[in-house]
């Protein structure tokens, strides 16, 4: 069978690569053509476009890059037409993927969407196009099944969260060897996960690094994003108490005592590694004001959204400052507070279901084609 897969971010690259591995078990002759990243390329097939070329975030940046975005859409349609896949698999990245899905459905292609757009947070009106353009939807958050089926009468498959698979397959890290390789000392590690896009990283790291001198008994390690080059981080690591480790976020988290994390998938990854965290977010003033009026949620982190209560502290926009960050980091280093957070994390993992999201999704996709 021929599969055309579109993943537009680092997290999508991870989950799509695991899905591809699972599809190969179901269909050893699977022929992959895809938009994604290095992990997908390692599985095999043809990488058409790397997600580094697609990473635009925020309302303002998208406006400035509309020409590139529309050029990518046009190219994608032509590429799919030439490939003639048995299935198109969209992995998250809804702004781009739903546009392609609308076109693909009209052309008679079978459309699969893995990792639902977060329309329960904003743009709920997208349900109309999802029901029209998506043949099979695979959701990964427990509350999404009820959202689609009970509220919108649209059948979906709850497959569990693929992060559980990714973390379960993580190789064991030997602390002594890892610290020696990356020139780290014996002090406890505080992980810094500032995001994956340049303007996001720059904005977040400036404040995150402002508190390093207040925690001399710890060492700070920036988990460098695979979408960036090491040189990009050099201006940020002039301080003696800061280190950079590229493309090994899970290894860093597995050895960390605490973490400062930019809102996004990384907040859930950090929780599943059982690392107490402070969730941070600061966008441009314009983007934030627009988002505040559109997004109707009590929390911004997946951890708190899934748990429907505050398990981890969120510092948003003006609250994300040196004073607040120092205070909240001090709190999550206290034993009693850590115990409470760990309790929340174990309940979170129970809610997410077990491992096997990639295998379940691959089986459903392959069976739908056979039938």
DSSP letter for each residue of 189-203: EEEEE--SSHHHHHH
**So what's the pLDDT on residue 56?**
54
In this prediction, residue 305 has a pLDDT band, given cuts at 50, 70 and 90, of very high
pLDDT averaged over every residue in the chain: 93
In this prediction, residue 331 has a pLDDT band, given cuts at 50, 70 and 90, of very high
Is domain 2-160+356-370 in CATH 3.10.330.20, yes or no? no
Three-state DSSP state, 48 = strand
CA 301 vs CA 8, 59, 117, 279, 310: distances in Å: 20, 20, 15, 7, 9
Lowest-pLDDT range of 3-17, 181-195, 290-304: 290-304
Residue 22 clears pLDDT 60, i.e. is over it: yes
pLDDT tens by residue, 163-208 = 998 898 888 999 999 999 999 999 999 999 999 888 889 999 999 9
> Considering only CA atoms, which of 105, 126, 106 is closest in space to residue 116?
126
Mean predicted confidence (pLDDT) in 44-58: 82
In this prediction, residue 145 has a pLDDT band, given cuts at 50, 70 and 90, of very high
**So what's the pLDDT on residue 291?**
66
Lowest-pLDDT range of 79-93, 144-158, 198-212: 198-212
Residue 62 clears pLDDT 60, i.e. is over it: no
**So what's the pLDDT on residue 287?**
67
**So what's the pLDDT on residue 294?**
64
Label residues 319-343 b or e (16+ Cβ within 10 Å = b).
ebeeebbeebbebbbeeeebeebee
**So what's the pLDDT on residue 292?**
66
Residue that wins the pLDDT comparison between 114 and 67: 114
Is residue 17 within 8 Å of 42, Cβ to Cβ?
A: yes
Q: What is the CATH number of domain 173-352?
A: 3.40.50.2000
**So what's the pLDDT on residue 370?**
86
**So what's the pLDDT on residue 265?**
87
| d(C-alpha 191, C-alpha 261), whole Å | 8
**So what's the pLDDT on residue 59?**
52
Q: Which helix H or strand E contains 307, and what residues bound it?
A: helix 302-307
**So what's the pLDDT on residue 347?**
96
Residue 85 clears pLDDT 60, i.e. is over it: yes
Mean predicted confidence (pLDDT) in 297-323: 94
Percent of the chain with pLDDT over 90: 80
Residue that wins the pLDDT comparison between 58 and 105: 105
Reported pTM: 0.82
Is residue 306 within 8 Å of 351, Cβ to Cβ?
A: yes
How do the residues of the chain divide into helix, strand and coil, expressed in percent and rounded to 5? 55, 15, 30
Q: Domain residues of the chain, as ranges? A: 2-160+356-370, 173-352
Structure-token pair, residue 52: 């580094």
Is residue 89 within 8 Å of 3, Cβ to Cβ?
A: yes
Residue 60 clears pLDDT 90, i.e. is over it: no
**So what's the pLDDT on residue 286?**
72
Is residue 159 within 8 Å of 138, Cβ to Cβ?
A: yes
Concatenating the DSSP letter of every residue in 177-236 gives HHHHHTT--SSPEEEEE--SSHHHHHHHHHHHGGGGGG-TTSEEEEEE-TTS-HHHHGGG
Q: For the purposes of burial, counting CB atoms within 10 Å of the CB of 286, is it exposed (0-12), middle (13-18) or buried (19 or more)? A: exposed
Mean predicted confidence (pLDDT) in 84-110: 97
| d(C-alpha 41, C-alpha 31), whole Å | 12
Return the beta strands (E) in the chain as ranges: 2-7, 31-36, 46-50, 87-91, 111-114, 136-139, 157-158, 189-193, 219-224, 242-246, 256-262, 277-281, 313-316
Is residue 280 within 8 Å of 206, Cβ to Cβ?
A: no
Mean predicted confidence (pLDDT) in 277-282: 96
Lowest-pLDDT range of 95-99, 199-203, 285-289: 285-289
């Amino acid at each position: 069978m021929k599969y055309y897969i579109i993943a537009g971010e680092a997290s999508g690259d991870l989950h799509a690569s695991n899905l591809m591995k699972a599809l190969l078990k179901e269909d050893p002759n699977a022929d992959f053509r895809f938009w994604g990243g290095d992990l997908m390329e390692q599985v095999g097939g043809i990488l058409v476009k790397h997600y580094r070329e697609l990473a635009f975030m925020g309302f303002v940046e998208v406006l400035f890059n509309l020409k590139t975005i529309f050029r990518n859409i046009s190219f994608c349609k032509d590429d799919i037409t030439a490939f003639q896949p048995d299935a198109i698999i969209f992995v998250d990245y809804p702004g781009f993927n739903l546009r392609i899905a609308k076109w693909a459905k009209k052309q008679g292609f079978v459309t699969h969407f893995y990792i639902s757009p977060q329309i329960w947070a904003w743009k709920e009106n997208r349900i109309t196009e999802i029901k029209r353009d998506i043949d099979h939807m695979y959701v990964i958050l427990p509350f999404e099944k009820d959202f689609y089926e009970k509220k919108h009468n649209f059948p979906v498959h709850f497959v569990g969260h693929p992060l559980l698979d990714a973390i379960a397959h993580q190789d064991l890290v030997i602390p002594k060897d890892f610290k020696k390789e990356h020139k780290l000392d014996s002090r406890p590690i505080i992980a810094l996960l500032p995001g994956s896009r340049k303007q996001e990283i720059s904005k977040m790291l400036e404040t995150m690094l402002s508190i390093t001198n207040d925690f001399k008994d710890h060492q700070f390690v920036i988990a460098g994003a695979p979408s960036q080059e090491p040189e990009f981080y050099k201006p940020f690591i002039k301080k003696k108490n800061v280190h950079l480790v590229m493309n090994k976020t899970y290894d860093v988290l597995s050895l960390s005592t605490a973490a400062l994390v930019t809102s996004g998938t990384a907040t859930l990854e950090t929780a599943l590694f059982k690392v107490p965290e402070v969730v941070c977010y600061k966008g441009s003033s314009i983007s934030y004001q627009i988002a505040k009026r559109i997004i109707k949620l009590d929390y911004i982190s997946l951890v708190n959204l899934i748990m429907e209560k505050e398990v981890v502290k969120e510092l948003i926009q003006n609250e994300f400052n040196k004073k607040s960050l120092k205070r909240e980091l001090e709190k999550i280093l206290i034993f009693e507070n850590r115990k409470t957070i760990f309790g929340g994390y174990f309940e979170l993992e129970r809610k997410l279901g077990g491992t096997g999201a990639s295998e379940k999704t691959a089986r459903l996709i392959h069976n739908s084609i056979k039938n």
